[in-house]
Amino acid sequence: MQFVETGYDAFDWTVPKEWNIRGGYIEDKNGNRILDFSDSNVHIMGYSTPIDKTVSLEDLQEHIFSIPELPDAIPYMTSYYKENWAFCMTDSMRQGLKDDQYHVKIDSTLEPGQLDYADLVIPGESSKEVLLSTYICHPSLANNELSGPVLATALARWLSSAPRRYTYRIVFVPETIGSIIYLSKHLEHLKKHVFAGYVLSCVGDDRSYSYMSTPSENTYTDLVAHNALNMLGIEYNHFSFLERGSDERQYCSPNVDLPVGSIMRTKYGDYPEYHTSLDDLNVISAEGLEGAFRVMSEIIGTIENNRTYKSVIPCEPFLSKHDLYPTGTSYLSNAENRDLVNLIAYSDGHRSLLDISDVIEAPVSYLHGLAEMLVEKKLMELVE
Region binding its own copies by CB under 8 A among candidate stretches 41-49, 112-120, 269-277, 318-326: 318-326
Is 320 among the residues that bind its own copies (CB under 8 A)? yes
Instruction: Between 96 and 328, name the residue whose CB sits nearer to its own copies.
Output: 328
Q: How many CB atoms lie within 10 A of CB 81?
A: 9
Is 188 among the residues that bind its own copies (CB under 8 A)? no
Is 230 among the residues that bind its own copies (CB under 8 A)? no
Determine which residue in the list 121, 281, 335, 345 makes contact with its own copies, applying CB under 8 A. 345
Q: What is the DSSP letter of 17?
A: P
Is 327 among the residues that bind its own copies (CB under 8 A)? yes
DSSP string over 253-294:
STTT---EEEEESSPTTSSTTTTBTTSSTTT--HHHHHHHHH
Contact letters (x/-) for its own copies, 84-123, by CB under 8 A? ----------------------------------------
Determine which residue in the list 34, 110, 256, 373 makes contact with its own copies, applying CB under 8 A. 256
Is 317 among the residues that bind its own copies (CB under 8 A)? yes
Contact letters (x/-) for its own copies, 8-47, by CB under 8 A? --xxxxx---------------------------------
What 3-state class would DSSP assign to 90?
coil
Is 231 among the residues that bind its own copies (CB under 8 A)? no
Region binding its own copies by CB under 8 A among candidate stretches 7-15, 27-35, 86-94, 128-136: 7-15
Determine which residue in the list 78, 297, 337, 342 makes contact with its own copies, applying CB under 8 A. 342
Contact letters (x/-) for its own copies, 190-229, by CB under 8 A? -------------------------x--------------
Q: How far is the CB of 322 from its own copies (least distance, A)?
A: 8
Instruction: Between 22 and 350, name the residue whose CB sits nearer to its own copies.
Output: 350
Q: Which among 129, 224, 213 has a CA at the least distance from the CA of 167?
A: 129
DSSP string over 310-362:
EE-SSS---GGGGT--TTTT----HHHHHHHHHHHHH-EEEEEHHHHHHHHT-
What is the C-alpha separation between 316 and 298, in angstroms, rounded? 30
Instruction: Between 60 and 183, name the residue whose CB sits nearer to its own copies.
Output: 183
What is the C-alpha separation between 223 and 238, in angstroms, rounded? 12
Q: How far is the CB of 21 from its own copies (least distance, A)?
A: 23
Q: What Rg do the C-alpha atoms of the chain give, in angstroms? A: 26
Query: In this structure, are residues 349 and 362 in contact, taking their beta carbons and an 8 Å threshold?
Result: no
- CB within 8 Å of 126: residues ≥ 6 apart: 165, 166, 167
What is the C-alpha separation between 314 and 317, in angstroms, rounded? 8
What is the C-alpha separation between 349 and 118, in angstroms, rounded? 41
- Contact set with its own copies (CB under 8 A): 10-14, 81-82, 176, 179-180, 183-184, 187, 215, 241-242, 244, 249-250, 252-257, 310-318, 320-321, 325, 327-328, 342, 344-349, 359-360, 379
